[in-house]
């Protein structure tokens, strides 16, 4: 009782919402097999604003210690904008929604030696008692199990270039088709095939909105050359879309927020770095879930760290927007 999703989504928590929460005051709350940090559990219970954050961006997306300072700053921005941050990961086989600072630091230090966990990897990571950083797909899934509807990251995965042949299509896209979580991001990286990514999102029925823009953003740059399928101009409008989708039992939403102009990469420079990184990946036979981490690392090296600065700036901006959407959504539900 008291949970917003109980009757609306029969798959939520596989029925665990009907049971009472196993929780002692000040201890983690258990919802299904997901552990909620005490402040997250309290916020979910009172239907307050909560923002989920992913962890692959920490372990595989950025180097230590920049990844740790980014993760801490993003949590602080979410708090400063009135919402409770909940970084999501699997720690020693336990799926956690809301990490302690020690757990955050551990993931940041583990870096790529943590498992990269997408939806397909969740069960085996848990069963092995392993520590894994969750991608957008696995983070959406665990956020939903915990009753969290707004999620902030850098960029969503997509259809990789030549994906029509390799079939390397991120599990993020199919997750967006079925899991009712709003992913606040800076669009999809231009290492991807953005037109096909948007086509695939349409096929999946995911709602894709530009935030204050008509064009779908391309992560390091504000423009992709592709129109955003929809547009909202305020956090309240975005929250209204999320609420309307929830009431109908629809899937996910991409809220695409362009990188602030002052942090935007020079289009030609970043495109050169991307082309070269892609060629090197092909040469080295990098494929599957190693692709995105490899490309991000090479682009960072080739731009002399500039791409990392852009990446950090866009995530922080997304955190501000995501927290405001969460606050508006809580307001609409009150």
The yes or no reply on residue 170 touching ligand PSU (CB under 6 A) is: yes
318 touches ligand PSU (CB under 6 A): no
Looking at 116, 189, 297, 306, which residue is catalytic? 189
Find tokens 């997306």 and name the residue: 61
Runs of H (alpha helix) within the chain: 38-45, 56-59, 66-80, 101-110, 122-127, 136-146, 163-166, 171-178, 194-204, 235-248, 267-283, 291-302, 306-333
189 is catalytic: yes
The only residue of 81, 84, 311, 318 in contact with ligand PSU, by rule CB under 6 A: 311
Radius of gyration of the chain (CA): 18
Residues 266-295 within binding reach of ligand PSU (CB under 6 A): 289, 292
**Per CB under 5 A, which region of 75-83, 132-140, 161-169, 264-272 contacts Mn ion?**
161-169
Question: Do residues 241 and 209 lie in contact, with contact meaning Cβ atoms separated by under 8 Å?
Answer: yes
**Among the residue ranges 33-41, 122-130, 169-177, 226-234, the one whose residues contact ligand PSU (CB under 6 A):** 169-177
- What is the spatial distance between Cα 55 and Cα 139, in angstroms, rounded to a whole number? 8
153 near ligand PSU (CB under 6 A): yes
d(CA 298, CA 296): 6
Contact of 228 with 209, CB cutoff 8 Å: yes
Question: Which is nearest to 76 in space by CA: 312, 309, 320?
Answer: 320
| Position among 135, 303, 317, 318 found at the interface with ligand PSU (CB under 6 A) | 135
44-63 positions binding ligand PSU, by CB under 6 A: 54, 56-57, 60-61
Q: Which of 168, 193, 264, 328 binds Mn ion (CB under 5 A)?
A: 168
Active-site residue list: 54, 189
Q: Which residues bind ligand PSU (CB under 6 A)?
A: 54, 56-57, 60-61, 135-136, 153-155, 157, 170-172, 289, 292, 296, 311
């Amino acid at each position: 009782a008291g949970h917003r999703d109980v009757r609306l989504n029969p798959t939520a928590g596989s029925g665990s919402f009907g049971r009472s929460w196993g929780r002692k005051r000040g201890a983690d709350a258990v919802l299904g097999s997901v552990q909620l940090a005490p402040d997250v559990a309290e916020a979910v219970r009172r239907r307050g604003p909560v923002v989920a954050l992913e962890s692959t961006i920490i372990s595989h997306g950025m180097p230590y210690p920049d990844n740790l300072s980014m993760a801490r700053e993003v949590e602080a921005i979410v708090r400063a904008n009135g919402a409770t941050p909940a970084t999501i990961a699997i720690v020693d086989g336990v799926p956690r929604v809301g990490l302690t600072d020690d757990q955050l630091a551990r993931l940041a230090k583990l870096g790529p030696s943590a498992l990269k966990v997408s939806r397909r990897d969740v069960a085996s990571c848990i069963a092995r008692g392993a520590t894994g950083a969750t991608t957008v797909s696995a983070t959406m899934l665990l956020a939903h199990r915990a009753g969290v509807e707004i999620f902030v990251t850098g960029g969503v995965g997509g259809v990789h270039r030549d994906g029509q042949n390799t079939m390397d299509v991120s599990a993020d896209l199919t997750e967006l088709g079925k899991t009712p979580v709003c992913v606040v991001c800076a669009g999809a990286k231009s290492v991807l095939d953005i037109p096909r990514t948007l086509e695939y999102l349409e096929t999946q029925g995911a709602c894709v909105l530009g935030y204050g823009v008509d064009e779908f953003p391309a992560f390091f740059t504000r423009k992709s050359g592709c129109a955003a399928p929809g547009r909202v101009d305020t956090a309240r409008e975005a929250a209204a879309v999320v609420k309307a989708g929830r009431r109908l039992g629809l899937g996910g939403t991409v809220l695409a927020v362009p990188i602030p102009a002052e942090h935007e990469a020079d289009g030609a420079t970043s495109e050169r770095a991307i082309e070269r990184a892609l060629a090197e990946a092909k040469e080295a036979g990098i494929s599957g879930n190693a692709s995105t981490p490899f490309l991000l690392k090479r682009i960072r090296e080739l731009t002399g760290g500039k791409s990392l600065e852009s990446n950090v700036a866009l995530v922080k901006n997304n955190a501000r927007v995501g927290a405001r959407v969460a606050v508006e959504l809580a307001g609409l539900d009150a």
